[in-house]
Structure 1
Amino acid sequence: MNFAVVEDSRSQAEVLKALLKSEGHQVEVFPDGKSCIEALQTRSFDFFIIDWILPDIGGDEVLRHVREKYGWDVPVVFCTGRTDEEAASDILRLGADDYIPKPIRYMEFMARIHALLRRRQPRAVTVQFGSIEIDMEGRRIKLAGVEVDLTQREFELAVILLHNVGRVLSRDELLTSVWARDAGVDTRTVDTHASRLRKKLGLAGESGLMLSSVYGQGYRLDNVHQG
């Protein structure tokens, strides 16, 4: 993915650039809004990260140009020092996909980027994992051909786990990805939902997959080789 980072703080921009490049992305940094808008005439980007307050023009002006060129096909995330409800409402109403409060918490930053990328990636209508089948478009999951009744959050957590088989996912990462906008939710909620999924989807090995709690880290879903 080709990222555009519009940020006038050089140190902040370099940290974001390093984080994104560590995930294999290409990154171009712009110190102000006008240089980014000018670049839109000759270059293409897949994702924009924009500081709300820039030295020359407002971040909303950059967003307007991005939407004029790409429509709604490209994710836009704002970074802002304003965290009041009115500012958040303004940013989202103007057409941003998400916003990240400053000072930026980098684990949360990457989790939010991953969440947006997952939502934008085209997926097959159905995906099979062991005896579990996910219908991404219909937001349904079947176990051994039988549909399982899941809540919205259970479904979202299941999709993240199933698309990261073999990888340890921290509770904070899961919490941010699934419950990013829910106030008053803590990591115990992740544990509760993981326990429910283990029972509903046969993640104790019956489905061909095993969900394990990794002490002090989070959860890992592994394939089980059944004899």
Structure 2
Amino acid sequence: MIFAVVEDSRNQAEVLRALLKSEGHQAEVFLDGNSCVEALRDRRFDFFIIDWSLPDIGGDEVLRAVRGKCGWEVPVIFCTGRTDEAAASDILRLGADDFIPKPIRYMEFMARIHVLLRRCQPRPAMQQVGSIEIDLGGRRIMLAGVDVDLTQREFELALILLRNVGRLLSRDELLSTVWALDGGGDTRTVDTHASRLRKRLGLAGESGLMLSSVYGQGYRLDTVQSG
């Protein structure tokens, strides 16, 4: 696997790279957040290890870029000197899969890597939610067996909603995830795309799913009973 290690301490980063290499993985080191975000434009990584405190941008900004470009399947671990409960909650709520407190205990570090690698085994290429089928390999979505023509951003928004059935997703969260690298757009962009998805994917109940706008908060996709 190819790891991205985003860590401003070169010595620390090289130790992590050596540990990963000893397990047969490749690792590329980024000493600041912007260089990693830039690399996402044309390179692929299978796993991210991100320092919370970076010299240029916050680790949370790197995480948003990773989720926006690579999706939610790619594992992300944070390394942080913050060990309080609030910090742990913040990191996980933002979309990280796990975190390692500093100073890093290397046996624990590798154990957590292995746990996430087991947990993140590839899912079946085809997934079904209601009467909607998701073809991850082909990046397409079908409704009742018929391909639905979606733009890239519509597909990514649909994917997040379909993977979070029953969960309220704020407009800001959707905007920062789907449009992370675009550098534009606002919450009206989310509303416009959500409205299109509601029509194209039958999210007013026809597909067995209902997309609801929660006033002042965001969107929630729920299953509905047929008949």
Q: TM-score, normalised by structure 1?
A: 0.61
Larger RCO (CA under 8 A, 6+ residues apart): 2
Give the superposition deviation at 1:123.
1.3
CA RMSD in angstroms, aligned pairs only? 3.8
1:55-103 CA-partner distances (Å, limit 9, x unpaired): x6274x356436634535x8x89684x65xx685479889877778656
Q: Where does residue 57 of structure 1 map in the other structure?
A: 11
Q: How far does the alpha carbon of each residue in 1:150-171 deviate from its partner, in whole angstroms, 9 at most, with x for none?
A: 1111111111100100000111
Secondary structure of the residue aligned to 2:221 is strand
SS of structure 1 residue aligned to 2:158 = helix
Q: Deviations over 1:9-53 (max 9, x none)?
A: xxxxxxxxxxxxxxxxxxxxxxxxxxxxxxxxxxxxxx876432x
Structure 2 length-normalised TM = 0.61
Query: Structure 1, unaligned stretches of length 5 or more?
Result: 1-46
Deviation at 1:187, TM superposition (A): 2.0
2:131 is aligned with 1:175: no
Indicate the SS of the match to 1:181: coil
2-structure distance, mates of 1:92, 1:142: 28
**Alignment check: 8 A CA contact 1:63 1:95 kept:** no
**Maintained 8 Å contact 1:123/1:136:** no
The within-5 A match list for 1:1-227 is 50-52=6-8, 54=9, 57=11, 59=13, 61-62=14-15, 64-65=17-18, 68=21, 69-71=23-25, 80=32, 83=34, 89=38, 104=58, 117-119=72-74, 121=120, 122-227=122-227
Distance 1:136 1:95 in 2: 16
Alignment-mate amino acid for residue 65 of structure 1: A
Equivalent position amino acid for 1:118 in 2: E
Partner Cα distance (2:145, 2:132) in 1: 8
C-alpha contact (below 8 Å) 2:6/2:36 kept by paired residues: no
Report the CA distance between 1:190 and its aligned residue: 1.2
1:224 alignment partner AA: V
Measure how far apart 1:198 and its partner are. Answer: 0.5
Q: What is the one-letter code of the residue matched to 2:18? A: H
Distance 1:159 1:109 in 2: 21
| Shift in CA distance, 150/49, structure 1 to aligned 2, threshold 3 Å | same
Percent of counterpart pairs with the same letter? 54
Count of aligned pairs between the two proteins: 173
- Long gaps (5+) in structure 2: 76-119
Q: 2:157, 2:194 → 1: CA distance?
A: 8
